[in-house]
Amino acid sequence: MEHIRGNVIVGQSGGPTAVINSSLVGVFKTAKDRGAKTVYGMRHGIQGLLEEKYVDLSDHIQTSLDIDLLKRTPSAFLGSCRYKLPEADKDNGVYKKIFSILKKLDIEFFFYIGGNDSMDTIRKLSDYALEIGSSIRFIGVPKTIDNDLDITDHTPGFGSAAKYIGSITKEVIRDGLVFDQNMVTIIEIMGRNAGWLTGASALAKCEDCEGPDLIYLPEIPFDVESFIKKVEELHKVKKSIIVAISEGIRTPDGKYISELTDTVEFIDAFGHKALSGSAKYLANMIGAKFGWKTRAIELNTLQRSASHLVSRVDITEAYQVGGAAVKAAFEGLTGQMVILKRVSDDPYICTTDTYDVHKIANVEKKVPREWINETGDFVTQEYLNYVKPLIQAELTPIMVDGLPRHLTLNDKNLKNI
């Protein structure tokens, strides 16, 4: 064991993934192995910390079975939040409160597992620490199914969601072939303004499956009329048509298709609109126009919580970025995010490094135009070469009574509530 270190606190933030808890284990285990005294977990990220809600993770992760279960548990074990810190020069009251809580807990190292909004929190807290001369180190641990974090080759959580999307697209395609009738199935996939996840539906195209017919990413404006024309043309040569759309597709004048629906609008603290209902809207439109049978499948939270089908590459990397964050902080770094650096596709080799969080926070990385075909309705081989290594191999759930067993947090151990 290395020499004794100060206390650590870790939080989870933003939308969860199937492997975010593997990163939590990576932080916890590495910090403990390297001599951290206490490893605290924030309940519901920075928002819970502000209410002094935290746990001592050693009360909850006690055995190697706990570790194995937690890695395989979807959703954020500690709870999450979408909380936007104000700029410190406008309102530093919140910062004073956070730093006084951190002082009370004798925290030396702060880790936040999240996407680009969460990296905004690391950026602001690390800047404030420098300003007030605090020696607390702040490091971001990447996570998001959207895969839209800049600089890092990819984000933990994406590979497993992509594996799930590729798998269920194959299954839906098979199901669409059952009846000898015209049918249009539209699958709606998360990812906000980046089409990384929607592109993963193309993985279904393989030896035993013809793949989806059309794929629409948010990077390309979505023309409803041309979409309907394409479906009409396709129906002249085949009966079952499968379309994958991103929840974030927009009309050429910038309106989300989901805004054309009667879904009640919800906007989070970062100004993101909750996007849903686009598949249903388009399916209804086609049904009404042609009288064909349609189905709208909104993958919704299934795609980010399917821990029964995680990619082993992804869950392993999720653990590694947690460990790398601890190593970086213990070596004295702050204001950094851990990144994944791909060395090669085949064999797939990837390493970790760190990068200035100021260059990453609040930036959305989109699918490059050249990875989308010319007609804007499918992804190219380059995209597939990129995603394929990330979905490889599995990690079997620990099954109890026929169902996957998870590790859950019991709030009776909350330190302060």
Amino acid at 133: G
CB of 189 within 8 A of CB of 202?
no
Helix, strand, coil shares of the chain, percent, nearest 5, are 40, 20, 40
Out of 31, 61, 105, 145, the only residue in the binding site for ligand F6P (CB under 6 A) is 145
Q: Using CA atoms, how far apart are residues 260 and 272, in angstroms rounded to an integer?
A: 16
Q: Could you tell me the CA-to-CA distances from 233 to 127, 180, 209, 229 in Å, in that order?
A: 56, 18, 21, 6
Which stretch, 139-147, 291-299, 354-362, 374-382, contacts ligand F6P (CB under 6 A)? 139-147
Out of 217, 275, 340, 390, the only residue in the binding site for ligand F6P (CB under 6 A) is 275
Which stretch, 179-187, 190-198, 201-209, 213-221, contacts ligand F6P (CB under 6 A)? 190-198
Closest CA to 221 of 181, 255, 178, 180: 255
The alpha carbon of 214 is separated from its chain's Cα centroid by a whole number of angstroms, namely 24
Does the protein bind ligand F6P through residue 15 (CB under 6 A)? Answer: yes
SS3 18: coil
Out of 29, 44, 163, 304, the only residue in the binding site for ligand F6P (CB under 6 A) is 304
- Cβ closest to ligand F6P, residue 43 vs residue 304: 304
Does the protein bind ligand F6P through residue 114 (CB under 6 A)? Answer: no
Out of 65, 274, 349, 363, the only residue in the binding site for ligand F6P (CB under 6 A) is 274
Give me the catalytic one of 127, 146, 213, 377.
Answer: 146
The alpha carbon of 148 is separated from its chain's Cα centroid by a whole number of angstroms, namely 9
Residue 116 assigned ligand-binding role: yes
Which residue number is nearest to ligand F6P in terms of Cβ? 15
Give least dist CB 106 to ligand F6P, A.
Answer: 32
Does the protein bind ligand F6P through residue 279 (CB under 6 A)? Answer: no
Amino acid at 380: T
Residue 345 designated active-site: no
- Cβ closest to ligand F6P, residue 268 vs residue 394: 268
Closest CA to 213 of 390, 43, 375, 38: 375
H/E stretch holding 338 reads strand 336-345
Give least dist CB 278 to ligand F6P, A.
Answer: 12
Q: What angle do CA 33, 39, 45 make, to 5 degrees?
A: 135
Out of 146, 213, 317, 377, the only residue in the binding site for ligand F6P (CB under 6 A) is 146
Q: Where are the alpha helices (DSSP H) in 78-218?
A: 93-104, 116-132, 158-176, 196-199
H/E stretch holding 294 reads strand 293-298
- Cβ closest to ligand F6P, residue 115 vs residue 322: 115
Does the protein bind ligand F6P through residue 143 (CB under 6 A)? Answer: no
Residue positions in the annotated binding site for substrate?
144-146, 190-192, 247
Name the residues annotated as catalytic: 146
Q: Which residues bind ligand F6P (CB under 6 A)?
A: 14-15, 115, 144-146, 190-192, 274-275, 304
